Amino acid sequence: MLIHVHPDNPQPRAIRTIVETLASGGIIIYPTDTIYGIGCDIFQPKAIERICRIKKVDPQKAQLSFVCYDLSDMSRYTKSISTPLYRMLKSHLPGPYTFILPASREVPRLLKSKKDTIGLRVPDNNIARTIVKELGRPILSASLPGEMIEEYTDPELMEENFEKLVDIVVDGGIGGWTPSTILDCTQEPPQLIRQGAGVWEETV
């Protein structure tokens, strides 16, 4: 099912349909401030397993992260944040970054990496953040399976390609090509893992 959602003023009825689908164990493709992602409610293990089957990965080995509503929401899923790290996160969020942080007890075991870390995001995208806010908890953030191709920027083509694998494709307009910048914040200073859409300077 393709659902058109206004990027600046998401329609409450459309958001409600998406949230109900997630809460009942459904999978969606949705826009972020970078590329479109595939996601589900982080507390729906069967939905997580479905996504991992689509991507052909092991949940604990996959690069899966959470989309959170804001920094205070994000802080629930990591252990205590130092003041310098908090300032750095605050200056970069919302934005096109994924921060790898120590996972708190709130993170479902299925999603913790073997290093007991989790990737956390607060994208600068009103649709993604509104979905998370209305759901009341983060959604899983994973890239679409395979190589980045033109079809992964066009929601109508994504719906054609993935309609049998996902429940909803959220159409928030044409998506980007460049993924988020990944920073490992379990080290001091944070280590750049992947240069993506977010600008990062070691001196920040």
Nearest to 37 by CA among 152, 192, 164, 162: 152
For 148-204, the pLDDT digits (tens) are 667 789 999 999 999 999 999 999 999 998 999 999 999 888 999 999 999 987 644
pLDDT over 50 at 143, yes or no: yes
Residue 204 lies in a domain: no
pLDDT over 80 at 114, yes or no: no
Tokens encoding 133: 């806010």
Buried b (16+ CB within 10 A) or exposed e, 181-203: bbbbbbeeebeeeeebbbebeee
Residue 201 lies in a domain: no
Q: What is the pTM of this model?
A: 0.92
Compute the 3-state secondary structure of the chain and give helix, strand, coil in percent, each to the nearest 5: 30, 20, 45
Provide the domain limits for residue 60.
2-194
Number of domains, the chain = 1
Total Cβ atoms within 10 A of residue 56: 9
Residue 199 lies in a domain: no
Residue 200 lies in a domain: no
Quote the mean pLDDT of the chain: 91
Residue 203 lies in a domain: no
Residue 133 lies in a domain: yes
Residue % of the chain over a pLDDT of 90: 74
Average pLDDT of the residues in 105-111: 84
The radius of gyration of the chain's CA atoms, rounded to the nearest angstrom, is: 16
Residue 108 lies in a domain: yes
Residue 111 lies in a domain: yes
Supply the CATH number for residue 114's domain. 3.90.870.10
